[in-house]
Amino acid sequence: MSTLIAKAGESGDAGYLEQAGDILHDLSRIEEDAMRVLRQL
């Protein structure tokens, strides 16, 4: 994550930030799914 943000800063390419945002979105979804499963235990 920090590498993508650093690359965005160095290159000025917003694509790296979009990639980081996509990863964070996926992690959020996975965490939410995990919490939902844990609540059912």
- Per DSSP, the three-state class of 29 is helix
Confidence (pLDDT) at 12: 96
* Residues 16 and 8 sit within 8 Å (Cβ to Cβ): yes
- Residues 13-34 have pLDDT tens digits of 999 999 999 999 999 999 999 9
Say if pTM beats, i.e. exceeds, 0.85. no
**Rounded Cα–Cα distance for residues 8 and 13 (Å):** 5
